[in-house]
């Protein structure tokens, strides 16, 4: 490391790779290509093509450089005063729940903390939700049901030390490339390691799989239900572990025995050959060191929470948790979805991994914050929140660093909802997105390499994102903008932070406040951290309680969980297929996901020409039989129609999808491809427990153009 370079973290996926940035040439102002941080434990110097193209995204003609009010430039003073006045007025006239934040897994933990504090402690509403609801909300609820806390047990090394890796609902080769590369390297080094991919689609991840189970869309839970049932029948469950550390096994097993009584029943439910499913069962039975690695294919489902618990049940039953190379391991999509979870940045959380339902927690947080208007109950989750806007119940929304006009299901409803709000505030780096077009007030935000704070990746590792480059124009940090509004609302004392460091140490102090190891998320060790120590922070895995500054590599090694009695809970699961099955009128099932080289709605990756070379246009994968039957040529234009809307995409004839199934990536916006916003098609069907939309399963019509 030299004085002309600095270390930070990639802003894209939940792998959270370390990045080294060489500072701009003072003569030209150009930033040289970035490189991987060889010392960062997530990537050890590797970067995928998105990460290595970051320097190309730093210069944009479309940066938002000054606050705008109804399309006219304004000062920060005027903009923040207008926001403060309007929030104050709607809260007075309609109550605190007339206001909402809609945040993002892209913002930093410090931004999340301040937004959460303002809404839940000072305005008095828990309407603080985030695009992380679209990403990992089901995994959160699954963990809380099983462990009593939202705690990821495993770490990345477990992916390299297991003997059987079951990748279910994950195309890691494209969505978490560096993890995939680590797994692929280990598979090459140790060919006896078995890899199973469970996915309706034959993705790039299947390239390293010993077995691909192309299940019927949405049937994942039945695979694990049968694994549980068979493990018990074969006397392979760990009776000692179950007796010592869990509860509810008998009920969960009884339900699994009813739901998936035989190999044939399970295979039929999942649309698999019995032999293929039995191969997985045999490997499962023979391999104590097994990791189940799961992502959006599990979470983005109307039964996503049950799917998570079906997976966790099997690991508890066989004692495959809290051990090297064993455990259920959900992978978050976004760089800081985990950091948001830590501070309570979801509508059904309070703060610092506490819930409103946790006895004494609301009072504890109120004492710590000295909060004048403490929220007392859950707020509205993302889809409900936008429905409440349309119903006129939420009148002011502050959207931060996300593009819900493209990413939320049923974009027509999102447009109606934002159109009916009395004030829409959008904080963003970019001037023109589908969502900034709906804003009354735009606030210019700092972006990657300018922002300063922390993120937490999928293995609970807290890393610094550092402000290495100056903010352009009048761009400001999100936490600063929130504080300016808070102070103008009369909340001077709680929002006088001068730096991200001051926010972070308060966040750490809250996690330790009256804690004494009682709660799972503890970074209290950091509460006395100096600015220099914060700046020099090396990546560390939480919990980081007092006396354990090195952090915690793996959770639940002692078999104690965060439930009141310390036992993990089995959850009885009934595997259920998605409600909106294909039918005569809507004969195809649409699956959605990502392409290798784009990120979310392309607001950053769309600036890097190199990244568009891989996939230049939005498309739909169509099986050759369906294409032939409908007279669809490869690369021709097709129309996909659902009850919610209609989009135009390029046909990609491919055997990766089964007949009757389609796949389309999520990235393209109205800016990039008119009439190709895929989430326009997706209905607002959500998991009733997590509120996560079922973005992986929409019934549609397909027509040639």
Nearer to ligand SF4 (CB atom), residue 131 or residue 511? 131
Q: Return d(Cα 616, Cα 597) in angstroms, integer.
A: 10
Q: Which residues are within 8 A (CB) of 72 and not within 5 positions of it... i.e. 6 or more apart? A: none
CB-based burial, 427-452: b 16+ in 10 Å, e otherwise: bbbbbebbbbebbbbbbbbbbbbbbb
**CB nearer ligand SF4, residue 21 or residue 662:** 21
Structure tokens at 263: 């190999």
Least separation in angstroms between CB 468 and ligand SF4: 16
Q: Under the criterion CB under 6 A, does residue 462 sit at the interface with ligand SF4?
A: no
Q: Does 602 bind ligand SF4 (CB under 6 A)?
A: no
Interface with ligand SF4 (CB under 6 A), residue total 14
The answer to the question of residue 471 lying near ligand SF4 (CB under 6 A) is no
48 binds ligand SF4 (CB under 6 A): yes
Stretch that binds ligand SF4, among 8-16, 122-130, 251-259, 538-546 (CB under 6 A): 8-16
Q: Out of 6, 7, 10, 434, point to the residue binding ligand SF4 (CB under 6 A).
A: 10
Smallest distance from ligand SF4 to CB 402, Å: 17
Helix, strand, coil proportions of the chain in percent (round to 5)? 35, 15, 45
Instruction: Determine which helix (DSSP H) or strand (DSSP E) holds 701, and give its type and residue range.
Output: strand 698-704
Residue span 178-207 as binding mask against ligand SF4, x where in contact by CB under 6 A, dash where not: x-----------------------------
Q: Which stretch binds ligand SF4 (CB under 6 A): 43-51, 185-193, 296-304, 319-327?
A: 43-51
Token reading at 193? 């390691």
Q: Please say which residue, 409 or 665, places its beta carbon nearer to ligand SF4.
A: 665
* Helix runs in 431-589, H state only: 478-488, 500-512, 531-535
d(CA 493, CA 519): 27
Sole window of 5-13, 21-29, 135-143, 475-483 interacting with ligand SF4 (rule: CB under 6 A):
5-13
Could you tell me if 683 and 642 are in contact, meaning their C-beta atoms sit under 8 angstroms apart?
Answer: yes
Identify the residue among 6, 7, 8, 17 touching ligand SF4 (CB under 6 A): 17
Q: For residue 539, what are its two tokens?
A: 């990546």
- Indicate the residue among 17 and 627 with the shorter CB distance to ligand SF4: 17
> Is residue 634 within 8 Å of residue 653, measured between CB atoms?
yes
Q: Does 222 bind ligand SF4 (CB under 6 A)?
A: no
Q: Is 13 one of the binding residues for ligand SF4 (CB under 6 A)?
A: yes
Q: Are 134 and 408 in contact (CB under 8 A)?
A: yes
The residue (of 174 and 294) whose beta carbon lies closer to ligand SF4 is: 174
How many Å from the N-terminal Cα to the C-terminal Cα in the chain?
Answer: 55
**According to the binding rule CB under 6 A, does residue 105 interact with ligand SF4?**
no
* 45 phi and psi angles, rounded to 5 deg: 95, -15
CB of 11 to ligand SF4, least distance (A): 7
Q: Does 21 bind ligand SF4 (CB under 6 A)?
A: no
177 near ligand SF4 (CB under 6 A): yes
Closer Cβ to ligand SF4, 133 or 176, answer by number:
176
Whichever of 15 and 686 has its CB closer to ligand SF4, that residue is 15
Residue showing tokens 């909300």: 137
The residue within the footprint of ligand SF4, chosen from 34, 47, 277, 385 (CB under 6 A), is 47
> What is the rounded distance in angstroms from the CA atom of residue 107 to the CA atom of residue 93?
31
Measured between alpha carbons, how far is 424 from 601 in angstroms, rounded to an integer? 20
User: Taking CB under 6 A as the rule, does residue 135 contact ligand SF4?
Assistant: no
CB closer to ligand SF4, 171 vs 348 = 171
Contact region for ligand SF4 (CB under 6 A) — 15-23, 266-274, 395-403, 440-448? 15-23
**Segment interacting with ligand SF4 (CB under 6 A) among 176-184, 289-297, 442-450, 523-531:** 176-184
Residue with tokens 């030299």: 2
Nearer to ligand SF4, 15 or 510 (CB): 15
Selected from 6, 7, 8, 16, the binder of ligand SF4 by CB under 6 A is 16
Nearest to 435 by CA among 484, 386, 486: 386
Q: Taking the complex as a whole, how short is the minimal distance between the CB of residue 53 and ligand SF4, in angstroms?
A: 9
Which residue do the tokens 């790779």 mark? 17
* Residue pair 245/561 in contact by the 8 Å Cβ criterion: yes
Task: Calculate the CA dihedral of residues 404, 408, 413, 416 and round it to 10 degrees.
Answer: -10
Within 10 angstroms of residue 564's Cβ, the number of other Cβ atoms is 8
Q: Which residue is nearest to ligand SF4 (CB)?
A: 51
Give, to the nearest 10 degrees, the angle between helix 249-259 and helix 220-233: 110
At closest approach, how far in Å is the CB of 194 from ligand SF4?
24
CB 356 within 8 A of CB 139: no
Helix axes 411-420, 382-390, angle to 10 degrees: 50
Residue range at the interface with ligand SF4 (CB under 6 A); choices 171-179, 185-193, 272-280, 379-387: 171-179
Work out how close the CB of 120 gets to ligand SF4 at its nearest, in angstroms, rounded to a whole number: 30
Q: Yes or no: say if 580 and 682 are a contact pair by the CB < 8 Å rule.
A: no
- Which of 676, 702, 694 is closest to 586 using CA atoms? 702
Establish if 608 lies at the interface with ligand SF4 (CB under 6 A).
Answer: no
* Chosen residue from 7, 20, 35, 50 binding ligand SF4 by CB under 6 A: 50
Residue 15 engages ligand SF4 in binding (rule: CB under 6 A):
yes
Residues in touch with ligand SF4 (CB under 6 A): 10, 12-13, 15-17, 43, 47-48, 50-51, 176-178
């Amino acid at each position: 490391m030299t004085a002309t370079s600095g270390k930070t973290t990639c802003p894209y996926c939940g792998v959270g790779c370390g990045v080294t940035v060489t500072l701009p040439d003072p003569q030209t102002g150009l930033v040289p290509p970035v490189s991987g941080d060889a010392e960062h434990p997530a990537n050890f110097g590797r970067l995928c093509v998105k990460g290595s193209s970051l320097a190309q995204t730093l210069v944009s003609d479309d940066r938002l450089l000054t606050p705008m009010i109804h399309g006219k430039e304004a000062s920060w003073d005027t903009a923040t005063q207008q926001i403060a006045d309007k929030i104050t007025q709607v809260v007075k006239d309609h109550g605190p729940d007339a206001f909402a934040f809609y945040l993002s897994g892209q913002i930093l933990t410090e931004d999340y903390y301040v937004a959460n504090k303002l809404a839940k402690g000072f305005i008095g509403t828990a309407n603080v939700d985030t695009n992380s609801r679209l990403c990992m909300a089901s995994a959160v609820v699954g963990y809380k049901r099983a462990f009593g806390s939202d705690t990821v047990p495993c770490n990345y090394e477990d992916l390299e030390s297991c003997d059987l890796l079951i990748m279910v609902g994950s195309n890691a080769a494209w969505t978490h490339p560096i993890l995939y590369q680590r797994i692929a390297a280990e598979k090459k080094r140790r060919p006896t390691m078995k890899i199973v991919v469970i996915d309706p689609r034959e993705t790039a991840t299947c390239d390293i799989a010993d077995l691909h189970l192309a299940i019927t869309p949405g049937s994942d839970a039945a695979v694990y239900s049968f694994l549980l049932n068979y493990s018990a029948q074969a006397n392979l469950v760990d009776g000692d572990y179950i007796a010592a550390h869990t509860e509810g096994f008998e009920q969960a097993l009884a339900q699994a025995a009813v739901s998936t009584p035989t190999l044939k029943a399970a295979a039929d439910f999942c649309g698999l050959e019995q032999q293929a499913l039995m191969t997985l069962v045999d490997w499962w039975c023979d391999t104590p060191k097994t990791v189940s690695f799961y992502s959006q294919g599990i979470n983005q489902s109307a039964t996503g929470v049950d799917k998570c618990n079906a997976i966790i049940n099997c690991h508890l039953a066989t004692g495959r948790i809290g051990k090297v190379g064993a455990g259920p391991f959900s992978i978050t999509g976004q760089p800081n979805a985990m950091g948001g979870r830590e501070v309570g940045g979801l509508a059904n959380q309070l703060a610092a991994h506490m819930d409103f339902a946790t006895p004494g927690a609301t009072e504890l947080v109120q004492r710590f914050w000295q909060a004048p208007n403490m929220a007392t109950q859950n707020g509205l989750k993302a889809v409900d929140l936008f429905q409440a806007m349309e119903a006129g119940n939420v009148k002011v929304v502050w959207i931060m660093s996300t593009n819900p006009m493209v990413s939320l299901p049923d974009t027509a409803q999102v447009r109606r909802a934002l159109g009916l709000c009395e004030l829409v505030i959008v904080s963003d780096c970019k001037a023109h997105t589908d969502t900034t077009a709906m804003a009354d007030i735009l606030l210019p935000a700092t972006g990657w390499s300018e922002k300063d704070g922390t993120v937490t990746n999928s293995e609970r590792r807290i890393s610094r994102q550092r402000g290495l480059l100056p903010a352009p124009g009048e761009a400001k940090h999100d936490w600063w903008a929130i504080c300016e509004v808070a102070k103008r609302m009369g909340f001077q004392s709680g929002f006088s932070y001068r730096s991200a460091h001051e926010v972070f140490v308060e966040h750490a102090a809250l996690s330790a406040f009256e804690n004494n190891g009682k709660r799972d998320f503890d970074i209290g060790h950091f509460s006395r951290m100096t600015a220099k120590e914060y700046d020099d922070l090396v990546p560390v895995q939480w919990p980081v309680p007092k006396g354990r500054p090195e952090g915690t590599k793996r959770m639940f090694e002692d078999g104690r969980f965060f439930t009141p009695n310390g036992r993990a809970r089995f959850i009885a699961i009934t595997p259920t297929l998605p409600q909106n099955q294909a039918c005569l009128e809507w004969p195809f099932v649409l699956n959605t996901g990502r392409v290798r080289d784009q990120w979310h709605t392309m607001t950053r990756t769309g600036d890097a020409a190199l990244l568009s070379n891989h996939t230049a246009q939005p498309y739909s994968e169509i099986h050759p039989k369906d294409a032939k039957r409908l007279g669809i040529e490869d690369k021709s234009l097709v129309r996909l129609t659902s009850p919610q809307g209609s989009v135009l995409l390029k046909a990609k004839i491919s055997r990766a999808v089964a007949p009757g199934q389609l796949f389309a990536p999520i990235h393209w916006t109205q800016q990039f491809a008119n009439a190709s916003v895929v989430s326009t098609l997706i209905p607002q069907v959500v998991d009733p427990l997590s509120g996560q939309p079922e973005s992986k399963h929409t019934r549609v019509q397909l027509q040639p153009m």
